[in-house]
Structure 1
Amino acid sequence: MTKTASAPPPARGGAQRRKDALTRLEHDVDLWAATASPDGTPCMVPLSFAYVGGAVLLCTRRTNPTARNLLAGAGRITLGLGHTRDVVLVEAVAEAVEEAELRPGEGEAFVARTGGWDPRGNPAWLFFRCHPRSLRTWREENELAGRLVMREGAWLV
């Protein structure tokens, strides 16, 4: 049996796209994190996150390729939320954050978002605070125009 695609809904305006992207950032639990090693070897993994104070807070083992790539380079990371018909794509710069450097409420927000998983107190884990530089969001081909809603860390809508 073949399923046929239905017509896409009308394209959203910029303000609605921003609102929908923020809803994903504030309510989703996991995302895809893509980094590259200094020699260009790509790495993409699923990670849990919390969106706190306009930044995406991630945590991974210090020995994992994601942490090694971010520490060895300029901290560039691409974050993907949603599915292929509701994409939020964030280009960000990540800073390594030791547990003692977490801002008030960040650790608690991360634990709450991840359903109680708490890497604090385990020195094998390292947090990364990812500062969005650009954000694109689209659902279907009719939303490709206007998909850039943040540039250089500033909302365009």
Structure 2
Amino acid sequence: MASEKAAAREGAQRKQDVLARLAEDIDLWVSTSGPDGDTCLVPLSFVWHEGVLVVTTRETNPTTVNARRTGRATLALGHTRDVVIIDADAEVVANDRIGDEEGDRFAEKLSWDVRGRPAWTFIRFHPRTVRAWREVNEIPGRHLMRDGTWLV
């Protein structure tokens, strides 16, 4: 028996759904490129703070090394039937340089605080593009942000 597909969401509803996911989800996938073009894909916990995604990882991990080298990353939330893909500029921030509000928010949401641990660093991801869709009927309107500006 074939299932009925939901009607395509309007752009404003998709943006609202993306913002809710950014506020409520705990983990996302982070993809960065190494110097030889090899890709590093890892799950990391995050906080959405004032339009920026904030993660933490070790200073020597490929994600940090690659983000520092290229200044870019691709992030993904959700599953294949409700995906959000974000292309972002990456800013590596020493854990003693992270803002109190960001650090407190991260520690509060995730019950984990790496401030004061020199081996750890934060990475801020500033979204450049945001795409979101559920089914093929939402592919035509999947671009919600371009060049860091919401389209809806």
Q: TM-score, normalised by structure 1?
A: 0.93
**2:44 maps to 1:81:** no
Structure 2 match to 1:105: 101
Structure 1 match to 2:54: 57
**2:149 maps to 1:154:** yes
1:85 Cα deviation after fit: 0.6
CA distance in 2, matches of 1:33, 1:5: 34
**2:27 maps to 1:30:** yes
Residues 66-108 of structure 1: CA deviation (Å, up to 9, x unaligned) = 11111222x1100100111110100000101112322231001
**Count of matched residue positions in the alignment of Structure 1 and Structure 2:** 152
Residues 111-148 of structure 1: CA deviation (Å, up to 9, x unaligned) = 1221x111111111010111000000000111001100
Pick from 107, 127, 131: which aligns with 2:126?
A: 131
CA distance in 1, matches of 2:5, 2:29: 25
Structure 2 match to 1:17: 14
Give the percent of matched residue pairs that are identical in Structure 1 and Structure 2. 52
**2:45 maps to 1:45:** no
The farther-off stretch of 10-19 and 102-111 is 102-111
Could you list the runs of 5+ residues in structure 2 that have no partner in the other structure?
none
CA distance in 2, matches of 1:8, 1:54: 32
CA distance in 2, matches of 1:43, 1:99: 22
